[in-house]
Structure 1
Amino acid sequence: MSSLLNGKVAIVTGAARGIGAAISKRFAAEGAAVSLSYLGRASEAEATLAAIRTAGGSAIVTQADVRKEQDVQRLFAETKARFGRVDIVVNNAAVNHRMTVENITEAEFRNHFDVNVMGILLMVKEATRYLERDGCILNISSLSSMIPSAGASLYGGSKAAVDAITATLAVELGQKGIRVNAINPGITQTEQLDEQPFVTPELRAHVSNMTPLRRLGTPEDIAGAAVALCSPETGWITGQCIRVSGGFR
């Protein structure tokens, strides 16, 4: 393993499992100290923490609700208290409850947009108090923001908002030397995917056949892209929403 993030300090939200856990582990393997944030999956977050430490990495774990500004402030404060600073913020926490428009409620709308959009804005707002020049913010969006899918109005709509604010924040924060990008994963084999009732074996096979690389993505695929975008090697890239989907469009 290389050391593309050697000496960096990263906060990763939604880090208990799936893409967030994979990014956290890969960042640690690349030399970063990682502050893992989770909301309701304590045992899985602790398992991710243990895996990083067993491999020789440096990490802490903090329970925080990205919808609550006080929690976000505490997350950053605890990270700085332990590691001295913050260099990278990965906004991965998200909800995805698929439903047709007839079943959408105000509560579900607010849940999706509070977590997927406001959560990112609160994280970035606080990040501006900590990140210095060459700081990096990475938002985990989705191909659902670009490709329509029945039942994904709330999720896809919220992720389209993520794409829009990624570009806007890159303009706002560029003058401070802070980069802001997004990754738009295609269908990725995670625990969350397994919990979606619409994801049938037939759908998996169809998506795999429609993907030029002929398979679904893995969390490690997304983690590799995250390392690249947060490393100094891509210091001239900002404001971009990058598809990481094996070529699926």
Structure 2
Amino acid sequence: MISTTQQGRFVGKAAVVTGGSRGIGAAVARRLAAEGAAVAIGYRGNQEAADALVAELAAMGGQAIAVQADVADPGQTAALIERTVVEFGHLDVVASCAGVEHFGALETITPADFDRVFTVNTRGQLFTVQHAVPHLPAGGRIVLTSSVSASKAVFHHALYAASKAAVESMVLNLSAELGTRGIAINAIAPGGTNTDMAAENAQRYVHPDLAGTQEPARLLGTRYALRRLAEPEEVAAGYAFLASEDAAYMTGRTLRLDGGAF
């Protein structure tokens, strides 16, 4: 069972987490559930992982459902939100964690690449907000996902970084509009995090001149003051903070969780 001390901040709250079946999204779902939230886990294709997470949270004493929804399709996002409200009776927290990675030299980027990356990373998050807001009460919380790449140069990473920089601008500008409804919107910009996506792309975060000199994760770790990548649970703590009353006077901001990247 989830202990009383863990339940505090989200007891009686309902949350939706897009991209919730893996990586940071799964860690966010676990953290919100551990603090008492009923959680809808949105996933694109990995039903097995999503169902396993629902079972895990249920075994902890939590309440969770898994809903297939590709954020590239606003209709599926709307259905995810509606299902959450029907299942739990209300919606209080939105954690938008779905995203795709991209590396490529300028001359290799195609219009299809642009559309794929911006459709998920930027448009997908915008329409998640649009569909969620009518259901959120005053005091509702929205947390989107940016990246330290939005403000830090990485070789061959321009397209991805641009899609995340747009998210930060979106959060800043929507904060004024949503503030009139009493809704706060912020973003998390994670640094290198120990997920399967990071493992798949670690070598690409290393400048070509340094490729092969060390194991990629170790080399990346030297770029952080804390000398290591983050664990997903550490990043999830940031989402939980922004979704809670502890961040009641914070909106329009992007919180960097980068271990002191330099």
TM-score, with length taken from structure 2: 0.92
The aligned residue for residue 115 of structure 2 is 110
C-alpha separation between the residues in 2 aligned to 1:232 and 1:17? Answer: 26
The aligned residue for residue 228 of structure 1 is 241
Superposed, 1:142-161 pairs within 5 Å as 142-161=147-166
C-alpha separation between the residues in 2 aligned to 1:30 and 1:63? Answer: 24
- Choose which of 183, 198, 202 in structure 1 pairs with 2:204: 198
Q: CA deviation at 1:206?
A: 2.8
Q: CA deviation at 1:139?
A: 0.5
Q: CA deviation at 1:199?
A: 5.4
The aligned residue for residue 174 of structure 1 is 179
C-alpha separation between the residues in 1 aligned to 2:79 and 2:223? Answer: 44
Q: Structure 1: which 5+ runs fail to align?
A: none
Indicate yes or no: 2:231 matched with 1:218. Answer: yes
Superposed, 1:14-163 pairs within 5 Å as 14-163=19-168
C-alpha separation between the residues in 1 aligned to 2:17 and 2:36? Answer: 15
User: Letter of the aligned partner of 1:23 in structure 2?
Assistant: V
CA contact (8 A) 1:12 1:35 kept: yes
Indicate yes or no: 2:261 matched with 1:248. Answer: yes
Identity of aligned residues (%): 39
Indicate yes or no: 2:201 matched with 1:188. Answer: no
SS of residue paired to 1:243: strand
- How many residues are matched? 249
Per-residue CA deviation, residues 164-206 of structure 1 (Å, 9 max, x unaligned), is 1010111110111000000100000101111125257533223
User: Letter of the aligned partner of 1:198 in structure 2?
Assistant: R
CA contact (8 A) 2:155 2:205 kept: no
User: Letter of the aligned partner of 2:190 in structure 1?
Assistant: P
Q: Structure 2: which 5+ runs fail to align?
A: 1-5, 207-213
C-alpha separation between the residues in 2 aligned to 1:166 and 1:28? Answer: 25
- Choose which of 1, 9, 16 in structure 1 pairs with 2:14: 9
Which moves more between the two structures, 191-200 or 88-97? Answer: 191-200
C-alpha separation between the residues in 2 aligned to 1:233 and 1:22? Answer: 19
Q: CA deviation at 1:236?
A: 0.5
SS of residue paired to 1:187: coil
RMSD of aligned residue pairs (Cα, Å): 1.3
Q: CA deviation at 1:146?
A: 0.6
Per-residue CA deviation, residues 16-35 of structure 1 (Å, 9 max, x unaligned), is 11000000011000000000
Which moves more between the two structures, 142-151 or 48-57? Answer: 48-57
CA contact (8 A) 1:168 1:239 kept: yes
Per-residue CA deviation, residues 22-77 of structure 1 (Å, 9 max, x unaligned), is 00011000000000000011111112111111111100010011122221111111
Per-residue CA deviation, residues 69-90 of structure 1 (Å, 9 max, x unaligned), is 2211111111111100110111
TM-score, with length taken from structure 1: 0.96
- Which structure is larger by alpha-carbon Rg, 1 or 2? 2
The aligned residue for residue 252 of structure 2 is 239
CA contact (8 A) 1:166 1:181 kept: yes
Per-residue CA deviation, residues 83-129 of structure 1 (Å, 9 max, x unaligned), is 00110111110010211112111111000000001101111111121
